[in-house]
Structures are given as structure tokens and as C-alpha cells.
Amino acid sequence: MRSVPDWSIQLAWWVSGIFATGAAWYFLSTKDFAFTAGSAFFAILFAGVAIFLHRKKDAFVAALIPNELKSALPADYIRRSSDSEAQVRLVRHLPEMKATARLSSSQGWDSGVTLDMREANYDMIDFLEFAWLRLAEFYPKSHFGTPSARDYIETYTRARFAFHWAKHEPAGPGSGGSIAGVLTGGDVVSDLERLVEDTMQSLFFDNQYLDLKDWLRRWQTVEDGSAEKG
């Protein structure tokens, strides 16, 4: 698409103005209604041309803006490609990021304080949602049946919380005691870890830039307190 030069838009408005304020009024003053109607027609025609050129220029300028900077991304927008090493690089190092997040959360888990343990779960859940969202960038924007991947993962996480909390309170709300919240958070962490693993296996089962078997080994050994860089 080529840009529309400003002079062409200005010319269209100028011609429209000549017909509207010059010719039309002149012929109207001479009571030549046929020429008056013709002048009005051409004034409207060139005004339409000017508007069309304006819109074409605006569309050209909008096309130059990167998708990431637009307020509304197209439904088929894909942020990352598994065929690009540069766009796979971050995913390759998610196990190391998980190790850091788990090290931080372990301080809360080891405290024995219910509130701290729950906060540690929330921190780990936040990281796992972040990790899955990076994988979701390899899919079209609305691929998971929601306006965005973030909407999907937030809905998924809330649903897992609701299920596990009910599971840990078999006698009704409040019957599980304060530990129910800790157990629920731990179960949601496990669900999200599996979700990340499942998504990874679908995306990178045969990829030249990422060794899936090695990635899964590093991701899963984080639970044992170590994650080798690779």
C-alpha cells in the first residue's frame, strides 16, 4: 500500500470548495439551476474523493504501527513463532526461571505459618501463569475460546481453585480449616505445572531450536531443588 500525498487531498478539497462556494453560488445568482445542481454534484463528489483519500492515508499510517503497540490486536495475531530461535529463547530458559520462583516460595512453605504458605503458593501460581502465557503467544490471540489467553488462564485458575477448595472441605464450607487454603494452593500449582508441560509437548515435540526431553527434565527436576542450565 502506497501513502497518499498530502497535496492530492488538499487539491480535492480545493476543487470541492470551488464548486461549492464559487460555481454553485454564481449559477444560483444567475438562476441557472441546472448548472447550480451540477456544481453541487461535483462539490459533493470531490468532497467524497477527499474523504476517501484521507481514510486511505490513515490506513497506510496505521499499517506502519507494530501490532504490539495497537490497542486492539487482530484475533489471528501470533506473537511468537516456534520457527524462530530468537522467539524460542525465552521459553528455553523457563525451567531456570521456575527454579528462582520456587526458591523464593520455599521460604514461605518452610515457615510453617499458614498465611505465609498461602502467599508462597500465590507467588508460584503467578509465575506459572506467566510461563503459560509465554507459551500461549505461539497460538492465535483468541485460540482458546476467550478474548485473550490471559482471560483463559485466569478463568482456568479460578475454576481449579473452586474445585480443590471444595474437595478439601467435604463437610461444607469452613470444614477444612485454615490448612484447606494451603492444600488448595498446592493443588492449583500442580495443575498449572501440568498445563505448562502439556502445552510444551504440543508446541515443541519436534523443534530444531528446543530439546523437549531435556526441557521437561529440567522443568520437573526443579521440584527436587535443582535446575541445570541448558
pLDDT greater than 70 at residue 73: no
The answer to whether residue 127 scores a pLDDT higher than 70 is: yes
Residue 19 has pLDDT above 90, yes or no: no
Q: What pLDDT does residue 146 have?
A: 81
- Binning pLDDT at 50, 70 and 90, where does residue 26 land? low
**pLDDT reported for residue 180:** 94
pLDDT at 148: 86
pLDDT at 49: 77
Q: What is the pLDDT of residue 78?
A: 76
- What digits encode the pLDDT tens for the residues 88-112? 999 999 999 999 999 999 999 999 9
Per-residue pLDDT reduced to its tens digit, 179-224: 999 999 999 999 999 999 999 999 999 999 999 999 999 999 976 5
pLDDT tens figures, 129-173: 999 999 999 998 788 888 889 999 999 999 999 999 999 999 888
Contacts 24+ apart (CB under 8 A), 51-54: 53/4, 53/8, 53/9, 53/12, 54/4, 54/9
Could you give the CA distance from residue 144 to residue 199 in angstroms, rounded to a whole number? 12
With cut-offs at 50, 70 and 90, classify the pLDDT of residue 230.
very low
Q: Which residue has the higher pLDDT, 5 or 89?
A: 89
Q: Where are the domains of the chain?
A: 6-64, 85-224
- Which pLDDT does position 227 carry in this prediction? 40
Distance CA(199)–CA(205), nearest Å, equals: 10
Query: So what's the pLDDT on residue 117?
Result: 95
